[in-house]
Amino acid sequence: MSKEQITLTKSELKRVMVLEKWIDGRLAEQDVARILGISIRQAYRLKAKYRHGGAQAIAHGNRGRKPAHTLADSLKQRVMLLYQERYFGSNATHFAELLAEHENIHLSVSSVRRILLEGGLRPARLRRRPKAHRPRPRKPQAGMLWQIDASPYAWLEDRGPMLTLHGIIDDATGEVIAATFRPTETLEGYVTVKIEGLRRKGVPLALYSDQLHFSPAQGQADPRAGIGR
């Protein structure tokens, strides 16, 4: 019987990684509550849910909940009006820059895109080159392939600076093997999560990054663009 594939949003992945750090003893409950923007009581409930059901419980448990940092309706209306009257036709990234520069409205690109889509407005899309790789199935067994990547994002929302999350995820199970925050994407961040992953799980058969496919068992590196999904 095949396992259910779990797709986590950035917010859910953030919760999973913070909970993993807490369980491993690298964060205290006060830190977890502060980072996730929840009470300590809620943090313990979330921890229990994750221990019992894993990442799947986090994914299903968050569906349909309205986040505490939801933007005010008046701000959403103003953003949509500005787009229609002054900046129509710009893509979400450019529109977010225009709002910050000319309107003193500072929102993430994802927030701007979400506001426009909720209002029935579709921002122009950036032209992207087609992906060179083909989709592939997940590996059948844990430890066969780890995916390592870094993601710059406003992980702390408006409560702290922009951070880059360095993480390793097992391709077969979706388990977060190791993760760490750094101000920017750095080699030191990648090395830190690799060392932690090796300490916790041992050596994987293969490791995929954005630009490198490495097979520890063979000791050879094979350049390939992109992580297959």
Q: Give domain limits for the chain.
A: 73-118, 131-229
Indicate the range of 44-48, 64-68, 168-172, 196-200 predicted with least confidence: 64-68
CB atoms within 10 A of CB 94: 16
Compute the distance between CA of residue 17 and CA of residue 211 in angstroms, rounded to an integer.
23
* Model pLDDT, residue 191: 92
CA 89 vs CA 32, 82, 93, 107: distances in Å: 41, 12, 12, 18
H runs (alpha helix) in the chain: 10-23, 29-36, 40-62, 73-85, 92-102, 109-118, 187-201
Q: What is the pLDDT of residues 31-65, one digit of tens each?
A: 888 888 888 898 898 888 888 877 777 775 445 55
Task: Look at residues 142, 202, 111, 151 and name the one whose alpha carbon lies nearest to residue 13.
Answer: 151
Q: HEC states along 129-145?
A: CCCCCCCCCCCCCCCCC
Tell me the Ramachandran region of residue 25: left when phi exceeds 0, alpha when psi lies from -120 to 50, beta otherwise.
Answer: left
* Model pLDDT, residue 192: 93
Contact predicate 82/104, CB 8 Å: no
Mean of pLDDT values over 137-161: 84
* Model pLDDT, residue 37: 87
Mean of pLDDT values over 14-28: 87
pTM check: above 0.85: no
Q: Is residue 66 classed as helix, strand or coil in its secondary structure? A: coil
